[in-house]
């Protein structure tokens, strides 16, 4: 088994528990780790034998455009989308983080990590 990683994806989006957050927006980050068998792609040098990370990025972008109240919910939606598009994936891990969360003090980012196995 191997791992495909898309790290440090950044988006401006309108997620957040508070209505104000959903109006003004914020910067968010996503790290996505996909665990799958990479042997066929390695042997054939054929993109159709692996997970196309350009497609994965577009799936994440689509979810980022759909507001969520909680980072946990957003992370779960991203995992569901990846599994639905690439059914042979064995596990997915996602970090969802909000830069400068409104906590009343200094905090570079709030982060949620979710990992699901099939």
**How many beta carbons lie within 10 A of that of residue 74, not counting itself?**
25
- Catalytic status, residue 23: no
Write down the catalytic residue from 98, 111, 115, 117. Answer: 98
Cα distances (angstroms) measured from residue 77 to each of 72, 99, 102: 9, 20, 23
The burial of 1, by beta-carbon neighbours within 10 Å (0-12 exposed, 13-18 middle, 19 or more buried), is given as exposed
16 — alpha (psi -120 to 50), left (phi > 0) or beta? left
Give the residue numbers marked as catalytic. 98
């Amino acid at each position: 088994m191997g791992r495909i990683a898309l790290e440090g994806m950044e988006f401006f989006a309108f997620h957040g528990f508070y209505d104000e957050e959903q109006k003004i927006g914020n910067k968010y980050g996503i790290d996505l780790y996909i665990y799958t068998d990479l042997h066929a792609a390695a042997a054939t040098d054929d993109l159709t034998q692996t997970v196309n990370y350009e497609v994965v990025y577009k799936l994440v972008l689509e979810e980022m455009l759909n507001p969520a109240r909680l980072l946990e919910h957003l992370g779960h939606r991203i995992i569901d989308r990846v599994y639905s598009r690439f059914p042979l994936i064995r596990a997915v891990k996602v970090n969802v983080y909000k830069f400068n969360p409104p906590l009343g003090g200094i905090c570079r980012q709030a982060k949620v990590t979710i990992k699901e196995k099939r």
